[in-house]
Structure 1
């Protein structure tokens, strides 16, 4: 009878696979300096993080689905919730997955999850001003209806560029995930805001722009990469980030000064881990962003050839780097399935 591999053997094999993925092994072994612990028992599925600009040391977060229209302000010095906001003027949230702070001083909440991968023909973004005072309050939010040019998508990452104010969404899919660009300005109410694919980005659980808008960091469950950002496009293959090993890695944001990345996860009493930011990645010599000649608002069709029949500059490199995010996830999930099969009933 053929025997299934032991748990130890699977663990060793998995570790060997991760060594082949840039940053994955380092992420597992290098959790980075301490951050803070979310102590509020109401926060059980923290799925997004955004550093406050109005209140130093405070981070905004929210639960995943089934919590209601709530956003929490957490003091990183103590891990305690210092305000819970109740959003009104919106429908019932379905699957809130991300939060980001725009240059207009407003918080953008992404109700963009769709675990069935296409069951909803639209999703929503909610927007409201960051409050001046931190206390429990009810705030009125604007609601924006979002669709994708290439059909419904599941997504967990929403990023607002800190200079242009443009909103981006990264969909979550092992093979077909992508980075999507929203319109120059969102239209509230029933008007449709169409997001268009500008690059591949497999299996992203969250993302964040640096405060100066020159970097974009995308994370998956087991890896993270930082890309240079120029003229509305990610640059090159990006640089590996030593993201911490977290059970349900769901969120990332930059500190207000841009010097540190904060990585969060789901779970009661979950830990937010701080990782110092490395030097900004630089595009390879001679490389320009895709669609640069048309300006930041241009959105070439994904995979469309540039002049001379070659891929648009920068897109191929970004895709190579983004594939690392998905590859690490696939390997680890496969190993988990094997372990579950072998577990005694």
Structure 2
């Protein structure tokens, strides 16, 4: 019942967004991937001030740590077992990222997998912790994974043509699995990546052409706007007051897109930012979202 009720609330802003949303001013190039091995940047996240990306399906098990100032690769973390279809990345605590092996275009996989992978400025080979995920209603194709910045709880967002679904993972993942997902909300169609805002009060979901801001934990749609044209935009991450958006293709360019005012207002209502505001006020320090 909760999923249906939330879906009714969320669907209207998603539908109205195409008419109401505009592309924010100030879009600009951030950097260009310099590594010729990065040919299909599909997932994107920020870890310790560095950008982490991964290639789409067909690549070996590896993630690239990139300097956002130059676009140069600083380190590659690899693992021996080849994934089925890696599609997304999310923060996983200091020095680690979640790798989402959740792609399933034909919707035939009995289960999917997330891996917790260390990242840094060196080339290393690791054996990452792996966690099996199972949908409650059959196989789904998913290209977005988000990790709450306070609780660490994972959510998988599926990629349906006319609409997707947000699934919550268990609060604590069991490495022995399977970890059963729970449907909690509806999502717009063709979501190719997503990211939490820094305080955990909202989520930005991207499609090939638009961005959708929703509140957390209600998943209520708040804003929608055009993204700059990209050949196949499949990555999004938050960096300061901007979104970083990436696209597939060799030596592709990553763009910086300013977050709308609604993003700051949404995040400032989150429990994490509420605590930070209280602390800053008590110490007489300035505090701004982003």
Q: Is the 8 A contact 1:119 1:152 kept in 2?
A: yes
Q: Cα deviations across residues 26-51 of structure 1 (Å, max 9, x unaligned)? A: 44x96712211112111110001111
- For CA contacts below 8 A with separation 6 or more, give which structure has more relative contact order: 2
Aligned residues: 249
Q: Give unpaired runs (5+ residues) of structure 2.
A: 1-15, 267-290
Q: For residues 252 and 215 of structure 1, what CA distance do their matches in structure 2 show?
A: 14
Question: 1:128 aligns to what?
Answer: 117
SS at match of 2:262: coil
- Runs of 4+ more than 6 Å apart: none
Q: Is the 8 A contact 1:228 1:280 kept in 2?
A: no
Question: 2:185 aligns to what?
Answer: 199
SS at match of 2:195: strand
1:233 aligns with 2:218: yes
SS at match of 2:160: coil
Structure with greater strand percent: 2
Q: For residues 69 and 19 of structure 1, what CA distance do their matches in structure 2 show?
A: 37
Question: 1:49 aligns to what?
Answer: 44
- TM-score with structure 2 setting the length: 0.80
Q: Give unpaired runs (5+ residues) of structure 1.
A: 1-17, 284-345
Question: 2:228 aligns to what?
Answer: 244
Q: Cα deviations across residues 256-284 of structure 1 (Å, max 9, x unaligned)? A: xx41110011011111100122223568x
Q: Is the 8 A contact 1:87 1:139 kept in 2?
A: yes
Determine which of 110, 120, 129 is the counterpart of 1:142: 129
1:266 aligns with 2:252: no
Question: 1:93 aligns to what?
Answer: 83
Q: Is the 8 A contact 1:30 1:242 kept in 2?
A: no
Q: Is the 8 A contact 2:65 2:119 kept in 1?
A: no
Q: Cα deviations across residues 145-170 of structure 1 (Å, max 9, x unaligned)? A: 11111111000000111111100011
Larger Rg: 1
- TM-score with structure 1 setting the length: 0.68
Q: For residues 185 and 17 of structure 2, what CA distance do their matches in structure 1 show?
A: 26
Q: Is the 8 A contact 1:242 1:275 kept in 2?
A: no
Offset of residue 105 of structure 1: 4.8
Question: 2:99 aligns to what?
Answer: 109
Q: Is the 8 A contact 1:31 1:273 kept in 2?
A: no
Q: Is the 8 A contact 1:102 1:161 kept in 2?
A: no
Question: 1:67 aligns to what?
Answer: 59
Q: For residues 195 and 36 of structure 1, what CA distance do their matches in structure 2 show?
A: 36
Q: CA RMSD in A?
A: 2.1
Offset of residue 175 of structure 1: 2.6
